[in-house]
Structure 1
Amino acid sequence: MSKTIAGIKVPDSALARQIDQLVRDTESDLLYHHSNRVFLFGALAGQRKGLKVDSELLYVGAMFHDMGLQASYASKDERFEVDGANAAAEFLRSHRIDERDIDDVWDAIALHTTPGIPKHKRPVVALVTAGVEMDVLGLEYDAFTEHQRHEVCTCHPRGHDFKNGIIDAFAAGTIHKPETTFGNVKADVLDLRDPTYKRGNFCSIILNSAWSE
């Protein structure tokens, strides 16, 4: 049966049910519920902003957005966002989804930790990031009603100390490939959680490059 949370209808197609089961079986409770909240907050943001979005594609992007943190989907040298995007694309291709839609989902996942760009892209891309930014960073918190926040978090609880829990999940998914954090927000995560981490410096790379001047 289809379910409605805070006025948002959760996709209930065969594809959506497979995704729900896959994420439930693969991720921790913390990340599973976080991914569901990302969909709901993203959809609510789209509703508020008058954006027309394919709800199922938004659901795919939200549910897969942290899959790259899981060992079974993690590469040795790609950013976890790219690993998650690749996992979603492979899943969608196996279901013969249109390549344009796959591109939107790929961008939505790959760009969800790159501030300032997704909001200028197509709705699926913009709203996955909007959902992430609300749930993790609390951006535009007051633009959601207390009822909306309560209903979303009742159905998909944040649990005890979500703030530290999500940072720990980010750290666990990136600590084995610190070079992928250069120039992105996960550098802050390893700087906080890994005492051996050395942050790359963009200016130092320029000044120490092989160019003579």
Structure 2
Amino acid sequence: MSITKIGSFSWMQMTNGHLKAKEKIKLANTIIIPSVMGIIRTQLKSENHIEDNIALDNIKVPDSKIIVEAIKELDGNADTAIINHSWRTYFWGAALGHIHNREYDPEVLLVSSLFHDLGLTDAYRKTKGCKCFTYESAIQFEKKAQEISYDEQKSIKVKDAICMHMNGFIDENNEPEIILLQQGASCDVIGDKLYTIPKDFRNELLRKYPRENFNKIFKGLLAEENKSVKESRTNFLSKLGLTMMISMNPDKD
């Protein structure tokens, strides 16, 4: 993946997640229209609901060594709101992959989901310095992957997926796991594409992984990130209305 691609792990290594003026313009031009249209469709439910028999039990949950380690890392450092958000992100992403016939590697998507917000937890938020939280999350994944000699090609996908999920929108020319992590996280945080997911599936997922005041907690974590990394995508997206979009999420706490 090109080192010039905004949000990629290579880009993070060069920038620590700090956007330049030209990158802000490029990012804004990329995400504004899809984000606005997504909000409108979600609020108005302007597209036909997709009827589908998808259920939580139909979505594969790998139990490989890297997944076991990821669960330990997340459960040992995050509170319930972030833990449940991470699992919902996986299931939303997997559901969207199923609905739109997008093939993906369940292990890569799940480990990306479990690690994607680790940099916002107390264990790493206070020591990461001026790095973007997604970069810190990817670094912590990389350490664990190296410890267990995890597949190198899969590791590259996971790190890029984690780092790029805060771009706000992912082009179709990216790996499916990168697209689905962003879409799954966005679905959970602002309700994007929520209207395309069957109601029974939504209710089942929220019963298993309740939101636990997630909206309020997440807005607080983003506010802290904005203060510590002023040129981050988080700060930039907040200025574009991310906090308002979280408040407009149809899934209230």
Q: Secondary structure at the match of 1:158?
A: coil
User: Is the alpha carbon distance of 1:49 and 1:37 closer, same or farther for their aligned partners in structure 2, counting shifts above 3 Å?
Assistant: same
Q: Verify the 8 A CA contact 2:92 2:188 in the aligned structure 1.
A: yes
User: Which position in structure 2 is the counterpart of 1:157?
Assistant: 210
Q: Verify the 8 A CA contact 2:229 2:235 in the aligned structure 1.
A: no
User: Which position in structure 2 is the counterpart of 1:178?
Assistant: 230
Which amino acid in 2 is paired with 1:68? G
Question: Does 1:23 find its partner at 2:74?
Answer: yes
Which amino acid in 2 is paired with 1:25? G
Q: How far does residue 111 in structure 1 lie from its aligned partner after superposition?
A: 0.7
Alignment of 1:115-154 (within 5 A): 115-117=168-170, 119-154=172-207
Q: How far does residue 181 in structure 1 lie from its aligned partner after superposition?
A: 4.9
User: Which position in structure 2 is the counterpart of 1:85?
Assistant: 138
Which amino acid in 1 is paired with 2:108? L
Range moving further from structure 2, 114-123 or 170-179: 170-179
Bigger radius of gyration: 1
Q: Verify the 8 A CA contact 1:167 1:189 in the aligned structure 2.
A: no
Question: Does 1:63 find its partner at 2:114?
Answer: yes
Q: How far does residue 36 in structure 1 lie from its aligned partner after superposition?
A: 0.4
Question: Does 1:39 find its partner at 2:52?
Answer: no
User: Is the alpha carbon distance of 1:70 and 1:52 closer, same or farther for their aligned partners in structure 2, counting shifts above 3 Å?
Assistant: same
Aligned mates of 1:47, 1:168 — CA distance in 2? 32
Range moving further from structure 2, 32-41 or 175-184: 175-184
Q: Secondary structure at the match of 2:60?
A: strand
Which amino acid in 2 is paired with 1:46? G
Deviations along 1:156-183, one digit per CA (max 9) or x if unpaired, are: 11124x3222111222344333343587
User: Which position in structure 1 is the counterpart of 2:34?
Assistant: none
Aligned mates of 2:168, 2:228 — CA distance in 1? 24
User: Which position in structure 1 is the counterpart of 2:47?
Assistant: none
Which amino acid in 1 is paired with 2:192? L
How many percent identity over aligned positions? 24
User: Is the alpha carbon distance of 1:163 and 1:126 closer, same or farther for their aligned partners in structure 2, counting shifts above 3 Å?
Assistant: same
User: Is the alpha carbon distance of 1:18 and 1:189 closer, same or farther for their aligned partners in structure 2, counting shifts above 3 Å?
Assistant: farther
Q: Secondary structure at the match of 2:138?
A: helix
Q: Secondary structure at the match of 1:120?
A: coil
Q: Secondary structure at the match of 2:232?
A: helix
Q: How far does residue 50 in structure 1 lie from its aligned partner after superposition?
A: 1.2
Range moving further from structure 2, 149-158 or 111-120: 111-120
Range moving further from structure 2, 91-100 or 52-61: 91-100
User: Which position in structure 2 is the counterpart of 1:201?
Assistant: none
Aligned mates of 2:242, 2:92 — CA distance in 1? 27
RMSD of aligned C-alpha atoms? Answer: 2.4
User: Is the alpha carbon distance of 1:19 and 1:91 closer, same or farther for their aligned partners in structure 2, counting shifts above 3 Å?
Assistant: same
Structure 1 runs not aligned, ≥5 long: 193-213
User: Is the alpha carbon distance of 1:61 and 1:118 closer, same or farther for their aligned partners in structure 2, counting shifts above 3 Å?
Assistant: farther
Which amino acid in 1 is paired with 2:74? V
